[in-house]
Structure 1
Amino acid sequence: MSAPALSRPSRVRPVPAVNVLVGVDPVHCRPARDAAGIAAHHRIRHVVFVEEQGVFAETDMDAHDARTDVIHVLALHAGRPAGAVRLYPTGPGEWLGDRLAVLPEFRTANLGAPLVRFAVGAAGARGARLMRAHVQVANERFFQRLGWHTDGAVETYVGHPHVPMCIEPVAPCPWLAGATPP
Protein backbone atom coordinates (compact mmCIF):
# COMPACT_ATOMS: atom_id res chain seq x y z
CA MET A 1 0.00 0.00 0.00
CA SER A 2 1.36 3.34 -0.96
CA ALA A 3 1.24 6.48 1.18
CA PRO A 4 -1.50 8.97 0.33
CA ALA A 5 -0.34 11.88 -1.70
CA LEU A 6 0.06 15.00 0.33
CA SER A 7 -1.68 18.01 -1.03
CA ARG A 8 0.50 20.92 -1.78
CA PRO A 9 -0.06 23.83 0.60
CA SER A 10 -1.84 26.76 -0.96
CA ARG A 11 0.08 29.93 -1.36
CA VAL A 12 -0.60 32.40 1.47
CA ARG A 13 -1.28 35.88 0.25
CA PRO A 14 0.27 38.69 2.27
CA VAL A 15 -2.16 41.09 3.94
CA PRO A 16 -1.48 44.76 4.58
CA ALA A 17 -0.22 45.70 8.04
CA VAL A 18 -2.83 46.79 10.55
CA ASN A 19 -2.17 49.19 13.42
CA VAL A 20 -3.43 47.45 16.53
CA LEU A 21 -2.67 48.38 20.10
CA VAL A 22 -2.68 45.04 21.89
CA GLY A 23 -2.55 45.31 25.65
CA VAL A 24 -2.05 49.06 25.47
CA ASP A 25 -4.72 51.54 26.42
CA PRO A 26 -4.89 54.17 23.67
CA VAL A 27 -6.43 56.69 26.13
CA HIS A 28 -4.10 58.77 28.28
CA CYS A 29 -5.35 61.54 30.60
CA ARG A 30 -2.98 64.14 32.03
CA PRO A 31 -2.97 67.71 33.28
CA ALA A 32 -2.27 70.17 30.47
CA ARG A 33 0.81 72.03 31.71
CA ASP A 34 2.45 73.62 28.68
CA ALA A 35 1.07 76.18 26.24
CA ALA A 36 0.32 73.57 23.57
CA GLY A 37 -1.58 71.35 26.03
CA ILE A 38 -3.61 74.26 27.41
CA ALA A 39 -4.42 75.42 23.85
CA ALA A 40 -5.57 71.91 22.89
CA HIS A 41 -7.71 71.73 26.06
CA HIS A 42 -9.42 75.06 25.23
CA ARG A 43 -9.84 74.16 21.56
CA ILE A 44 -11.71 70.96 22.49
CA ARG A 45 -14.00 72.85 24.85
CA HIS A 46 -14.64 75.53 22.20
CA VAL A 47 -15.53 72.94 19.54
CA VAL A 48 -17.98 71.16 21.86
CA PHE A 49 -19.58 73.98 23.88
CA VAL A 50 -19.52 76.87 21.38
CA GLU A 51 -19.51 75.38 17.89
CA GLU A 52 -21.40 72.11 18.40
CA GLN A 53 -23.80 72.63 21.32
CA GLY A 54 -24.16 76.42 21.27
CA VAL A 55 -24.11 76.53 25.08
CA PHE A 56 -21.90 79.65 24.91
CA ALA A 57 -22.05 82.31 22.22
CA GLU A 58 -18.37 83.11 21.66
CA THR A 59 -16.25 81.36 24.27
CA ASP A 60 -16.69 79.03 27.20
CA MET A 61 -13.66 80.47 29.00
CA ASP A 62 -14.29 82.34 32.24
CA ALA A 63 -12.45 83.68 35.29
CA HIS A 64 -11.82 80.15 36.58
CA ASP A 65 -9.52 79.43 33.64
CA ALA A 66 -7.11 82.10 34.88
CA ARG A 67 -6.89 80.66 38.40
CA THR A 68 -3.58 79.10 39.39
CA ASP A 69 -5.27 76.22 41.23
CA VAL A 70 -7.33 75.07 38.25
CA ILE A 71 -6.37 71.77 36.66
CA HIS A 72 -7.00 71.63 32.92
CA VAL A 73 -7.07 67.94 32.01
CA LEU A 74 -6.42 66.73 28.48
CA ALA A 75 -7.30 63.27 27.19
CA LEU A 76 -5.20 61.90 24.38
CA HIS A 77 -6.37 59.05 22.18
CA ALA A 78 -3.42 57.33 20.52
CA GLY A 79 -1.49 60.55 21.07
CA ARG A 80 -4.12 62.90 19.61
CA PRO A 81 -5.96 65.50 21.76
CA ALA A 82 -9.51 64.18 22.04
CA GLY A 83 -11.15 65.27 25.31
CA ALA A 84 -10.93 67.71 28.19
CA VAL A 85 -12.25 68.43 31.68
CA ARG A 86 -11.55 71.23 34.15
CA LEU A 87 -11.50 70.99 37.95
CA TYR A 88 -10.75 73.32 40.84
CA PRO A 89 -11.28 73.68 44.59
CA THR A 90 -14.40 75.52 45.76
CA GLY A 91 -13.78 75.37 49.50
CA PRO A 92 -12.09 73.28 52.17
CA GLY A 93 -12.23 69.67 51.00
CA GLU A 94 -14.56 70.42 48.05
CA TRP A 95 -13.80 70.50 44.35
CA LEU A 96 -15.89 71.19 41.25
CA GLY A 97 -15.47 69.40 37.94
CA ASP A 98 -16.85 71.05 34.83
CA ARG A 99 -16.45 71.55 31.09
CA LEU A 100 -16.23 67.81 30.35
CA ALA A 101 -15.91 67.64 26.57
CA VAL A 102 -15.05 64.96 24.03
CA LEU A 103 -14.60 65.78 20.35
CA PRO A 104 -17.35 64.21 18.20
CA GLU A 105 -14.95 62.00 16.24
CA PHE A 106 -13.73 60.37 19.48
CA ARG A 107 -17.09 59.77 21.18
CA THR A 108 -17.08 56.06 20.34
CA ALA A 109 -13.60 55.68 21.91
CA ASN A 110 -15.03 55.82 25.46
CA LEU A 111 -13.01 58.81 26.68
CA GLY A 112 -15.62 60.23 29.06
CA ALA A 113 -15.18 57.68 31.83
CA PRO A 114 -11.36 57.92 31.96
CA LEU A 115 -11.62 61.73 32.01
CA VAL A 116 -14.13 61.72 34.88
CA ARG A 117 -12.15 59.12 36.83
CA PHE A 118 -8.94 61.07 36.32
CA ALA A 119 -10.58 64.29 37.56
CA VAL A 120 -12.01 62.57 40.64
CA GLY A 121 -8.65 60.93 41.37
CA ALA A 122 -6.79 64.22 40.93
CA ALA A 123 -9.17 65.99 43.33
CA GLY A 124 -8.86 63.13 45.83
CA ALA A 125 -5.08 63.24 45.65
CA ARG A 126 -5.30 66.94 46.55
CA GLY A 127 -7.40 66.31 49.64
CA ALA A 128 -10.94 66.56 48.27
CA ARG A 129 -13.54 64.90 50.44
CA LEU A 130 -16.35 65.82 48.04
CA MET A 131 -16.42 66.59 44.33
CA ARG A 132 -19.38 68.24 42.67
CA ALA A 133 -20.47 68.75 39.08
CA HIS A 134 -23.39 70.30 37.20
CA VAL A 135 -24.18 67.60 34.65
CA GLN A 136 -26.29 67.93 31.53
CA VAL A 137 -29.50 65.96 32.12
CA ALA A 138 -28.73 63.58 29.26
CA ASN A 139 -25.49 62.55 31.03
CA GLU A 140 -26.93 61.89 34.51
CA ARG A 141 -27.09 58.10 34.06
CA PHE A 142 -23.50 58.03 32.72
CA PHE A 143 -22.28 59.74 35.91
CA GLN A 144 -24.37 57.43 38.09
CA ARG A 145 -22.67 54.43 36.49
CA LEU A 146 -19.35 55.99 37.55
CA GLY A 147 -20.48 56.19 41.19
CA TRP A 148 -21.83 59.75 41.29
CA HIS A 149 -25.03 60.64 43.16
CA THR A 150 -27.72 63.12 42.16
CA ASP A 151 -27.56 65.97 44.68
CA GLY A 152 -30.68 68.05 44.07
CA ALA A 153 -33.32 69.03 41.58
CA VAL A 154 -32.69 69.91 37.95
CA GLU A 155 -31.43 73.48 37.62
CA THR A 156 -30.86 75.85 34.73
CA TYR A 157 -27.24 76.62 33.90
CA VAL A 158 -26.45 78.82 30.90
CA GLY A 159 -29.99 78.28 29.68
CA HIS A 160 -29.79 74.48 29.74
CA PRO A 161 -31.06 71.94 32.30
CA HIS A 162 -28.33 70.44 34.48
CA VAL A 163 -28.39 68.05 37.42
CA PRO A 164 -26.23 68.73 40.48
CA MET A 165 -24.21 65.60 41.27
CA CYS A 166 -21.48 64.65 43.72
CA ILE A 167 -19.03 61.91 44.60
CA GLU A 168 -16.69 61.26 47.50
CA PRO A 169 -13.21 60.77 46.02
CA VAL A 170 -11.32 57.81 47.37
CA ALA A 171 -7.89 58.67 48.68
CA PRO A 172 -5.24 57.04 46.52
CA CYS A 173 -3.26 54.14 47.90
CA PRO A 174 -0.04 55.51 49.44
CA TRP A 175 2.14 53.39 47.14
CA LEU A 176 0.29 54.71 44.08
CA ALA A 177 1.02 58.23 45.27
CA GLY A 178 4.73 57.35 45.50
CA ALA A 179 5.00 56.63 49.24
CA THR A 180 7.10 53.68 50.31
CA PRO A 181 5.03 51.01 52.06
CA PRO A 182 5.98 50.33 55.70
Structure 2
Amino acid sequence: MAPPPVPSPPPVDPVARESCRLVADAADLDAHHAVRRTVFVEEQSVFAGTDRDDRDDDPLTLHVLGLVDGRPAGSVRLYPIGPGRWKGDRLAVLPGRRAGRLGIALVRFAVATAAARGGDRMVALVQQPNEVFFRRLGWERLAEPQLYVGIPHVRMDIGLR
Protein backbone atom coordinates (compact mmCIF):
# COMPACT_ATOMS: atom_id res chain seq x y z
CA MET A 1 0.00 0.00 0.00
CA ALA A 2 1.35 3.39 -0.97
CA PRO A 3 1.98 5.96 1.77
CA PRO A 4 -0.58 8.76 1.98
CA PRO A 5 0.28 11.78 -0.14
CA VAL A 6 2.15 14.56 1.57
CA PRO A 7 -0.22 17.49 1.95
CA SER A 8 0.64 20.57 -0.02
CA PRO A 9 1.87 23.49 2.06
CA PRO A 10 -0.61 26.30 2.47
CA PRO A 11 -0.35 28.95 -0.22
CA VAL A 12 2.11 31.71 0.50
CA ASP A 13 0.45 34.98 1.33
CA PRO A 14 1.88 37.53 -1.14
CA VAL A 15 1.25 40.36 1.34
CA ALA A 16 4.24 41.16 3.53
CA ARG A 17 3.87 39.93 7.08
CA GLU A 18 4.87 43.34 8.40
CA SER A 19 3.23 46.44 7.01
CA CYS A 20 2.79 50.08 7.95
CA ARG A 21 0.12 52.64 7.24
CA LEU A 22 -0.92 56.08 8.32
CA VAL A 23 -3.67 56.01 10.90
CA ALA A 24 -6.93 56.23 8.96
CA ASP A 25 -9.64 56.38 11.60
CA ALA A 26 -10.40 56.41 15.33
CA ALA A 27 -9.88 52.64 15.65
CA ASP A 28 -6.41 52.92 14.09
CA LEU A 29 -5.54 55.82 16.38
CA ASP A 30 -6.71 53.85 19.44
CA ALA A 31 -4.55 50.91 18.34
CA HIS A 32 -1.57 53.25 17.77
CA HIS A 33 -1.91 54.67 21.29
CA ALA A 34 -2.45 51.21 22.80
CA VAL A 35 0.90 50.04 21.39
CA ARG A 36 2.66 53.11 22.77
CA ARG A 37 0.99 52.69 26.18
CA THR A 38 2.03 49.04 26.33
CA VAL A 39 5.66 49.84 25.53
CA PHE A 40 6.31 53.22 27.16
CA VAL A 41 3.98 53.09 30.17
CA GLU A 42 3.47 49.44 31.08
CA GLU A 43 6.70 47.77 29.92
CA GLN A 44 9.39 50.45 30.19
CA SER A 45 7.79 52.78 32.77
CA VAL A 46 9.13 55.75 30.81
CA PHE A 47 5.90 57.66 31.41
CA ALA A 48 3.32 57.36 34.19
CA GLY A 49 -0.24 56.79 33.04
CA THR A 50 0.13 57.95 29.43
CA ASP A 51 2.78 58.97 26.93
CA ARG A 52 0.39 61.26 25.05
CA ASP A 53 1.24 64.94 24.83
CA ASP A 54 0.19 68.07 22.96
CA ARG A 55 1.98 66.83 19.85
CA ASP A 56 -0.62 64.06 19.51
CA ASP A 57 -3.38 66.67 19.19
CA ASP A 58 -1.54 68.74 16.58
CA PRO A 59 -3.20 68.26 13.18
CA LEU A 60 0.24 68.24 11.51
CA THR A 61 1.31 65.15 13.47
CA LEU A 62 1.11 61.93 11.50
CA HIS A 63 0.47 58.72 13.43
CA VAL A 64 1.66 55.46 11.90
CA LEU A 65 0.45 51.98 12.75
CA GLY A 66 2.65 48.94 12.21
CA LEU A 67 0.93 45.63 11.59
CA VAL A 68 2.02 42.01 11.75
CA ASP A 69 -0.34 39.61 10.03
CA GLY A 70 -2.87 42.44 9.97
CA ARG A 71 -2.76 43.00 13.74
CA PRO A 72 -1.43 46.16 15.42
CA ALA A 73 2.07 45.56 16.74
CA GLY A 74 3.99 48.83 16.33
CA SER A 75 3.73 52.57 16.04
CA VAL A 76 5.65 55.75 15.33
CA ARG A 77 4.66 59.38 14.93
CA LEU A 78 6.23 62.12 12.85
CA TYR A 79 5.73 65.82 12.36
CA PRO A 80 7.31 68.85 10.70
CA ILE A 81 9.53 71.01 12.91
CA GLY A 82 10.58 73.63 10.38
CA PRO A 83 11.10 74.16 6.67
CA GLY A 84 12.21 70.80 5.26
CA ARG A 85 12.77 69.32 8.73
CA TRP A 86 10.79 66.54 10.36
CA LYS A 87 10.98 64.74 13.67
CA GLY A 88 10.13 61.12 14.33
CA ASP A 89 9.43 59.85 17.81
CA ARG A 90 7.52 57.37 19.96
CA LEU A 91 8.75 54.42 17.88
CA ALA A 92 7.35 51.35 19.61
CA VAL A 93 7.13 47.66 18.78
CA LEU A 94 5.30 45.27 21.07
CA PRO A 95 7.33 42.71 23.00
CA GLY A 96 7.29 39.45 21.11
CA ARG A 97 7.35 41.26 17.75
CA ARG A 98 10.81 42.79 18.03
CA ALA A 99 12.63 39.85 16.45
CA GLY A 100 10.96 40.57 13.11
CA ARG A 101 11.44 43.50 10.79
CA LEU A 102 8.57 45.71 11.95
CA GLY A 103 10.87 48.27 13.61
CA ILE A 104 12.83 48.61 10.37
CA ALA A 105 9.60 48.96 8.39
CA LEU A 106 8.27 51.65 10.74
CA VAL A 107 11.46 53.74 10.54
CA ARG A 108 11.65 53.44 6.76
CA PHE A 109 7.95 54.30 6.43
CA ALA A 110 8.40 57.41 8.58
CA VAL A 111 11.45 58.52 6.58
CA ALA A 112 9.71 57.93 3.24
CA THR A 113 6.57 59.73 4.43
CA ALA A 114 8.53 62.79 5.57
CA ALA A 115 10.45 62.83 2.26
CA ALA A 116 7.21 62.55 0.26
CA ARG A 117 5.93 65.61 2.12
CA GLY A 118 8.91 67.71 1.10
CA GLY A 119 11.28 66.95 3.97
CA ASP A 120 15.04 67.24 3.57
CA ARG A 121 16.11 65.95 7.00
CA MET A 122 14.57 64.00 9.83
CA VAL A 123 15.72 64.02 13.44
CA ALA A 124 14.97 61.70 16.33
CA LEU A 125 15.92 61.38 19.96
CA VAL A 126 16.73 57.67 20.28
CA GLN A 127 17.18 55.60 23.42
CA GLN A 128 20.91 54.96 23.55
CA PRO A 129 20.69 51.14 23.25
CA ASN A 130 18.88 51.64 19.91
CA GLU A 131 21.60 53.81 18.36
CA VAL A 132 23.19 50.90 16.47
CA PHE A 133 19.80 49.92 15.04
CA PHE A 134 19.35 53.46 13.65
CA ARG A 135 22.94 53.66 12.36
CA ARG A 136 22.33 50.49 10.36
CA LEU A 137 19.41 52.28 8.73
CA GLY A 138 21.58 55.23 7.67
CA TRP A 139 21.06 57.59 10.62
CA GLU A 140 23.94 59.57 12.13
CA ARG A 141 24.58 60.72 15.68
CA LEU A 142 24.43 64.48 16.13
CA ALA A 143 25.43 64.83 19.77
CA GLU A 144 26.58 62.96 22.83
CA PRO A 145 23.89 61.16 24.84
CA GLN A 146 21.62 63.29 26.99
CA LEU A 147 18.99 62.42 29.55
CA TYR A 148 15.37 62.55 28.43
CA VAL A 149 12.75 61.35 30.91
CA GLY A 150 15.66 60.05 32.99
CA ILE A 151 16.96 57.74 30.23
CA PRO A 152 20.05 58.32 28.05
CA HIS A 153 19.02 59.27 24.51
CA VAL A 154 21.07 60.14 21.42
CA ARG A 155 20.05 62.86 18.96
CA MET A 156 20.28 61.44 15.44
CA ASP A 157 19.32 62.49 11.94
CA ILE A 158 19.06 61.26 8.36
CA GLY A 159 18.93 62.97 4.99
CA LEU A 160 15.67 62.47 3.15
CA ARG A 161 16.81 63.22 -0.40
TM-score, scaled to structure 2: 0.94
Aligned mate of 1:25, from 11, 16, 19? 16
For residue 35 of structure 2, what is the aligned residue in structure 1?
A: 44
For residue 161 of structure 1, what is the aligned residue in structure 2?
A: 152
Secondary structure, in 3 states, of the residue corresponding to 1:25? Answer: coil
For residue 134 of structure 1, what is the aligned residue in structure 2?
A: 125
CA–CA distance in structure 1, aligned partners of residues 29 and 58 of structure 2: 13
Secondary structure, in 3 states, of the residue corresponding to 1:46? Answer: helix
Instruction: Name stretches of at least 5 consecutive residues in structure 1 with no aligned partner.
Output: 1-7, 171-182
CA–CA distance in structure 2, aligned partners of residues 19 and 87 of structure 1: 38
Count of aligned positions: 161
1:88-99 → structure 2 map (5 Å cutoff): 88-99=79-90
Structure 1 window deviating more from structure 2 (115-124 vs 100-109): it is 100-109
Structure 1 window deviating more from structure 2 (101-110 vs 138-147): it is 101-110
1:34-113 → structure 2 map (5 Å cutoff): 34-113=25-104
Whether the 8 Å contact between 2:19 and 2:102 is mirrored in structure 1 is no
Shift of 1:28: 1.3
Shift of 1:105: 2.1
Shift of 1:59: 0.5
Distance 1:105 1:130, change over 3 A: same
Instruction: Look at both structures and tell me which one has the larger radius of gyration over its CA atoms.
Output: 1
Instruction: Name stretches of at least 5 consecutive residues in structure 2 with no aligned partner.
Output: none
Shift of 1:66: 0.1
Whether the 8 Å contact between 2:21 and 2:64 is mirrored in structure 1 is yes
Shift of 1:33: 2.0
Q: Which amino acid aligns with 2:29?
A: I
CA–CA distance in structure 1, aligned partners of residues 9 and 150 of structure 2: 46
Which is bigger in relative contact order (C-alpha 8 A, separation at least 6)?
A: 2
CA–CA distance in structure 1, aligned partners of residues 127 and 10 of structure 2: 36
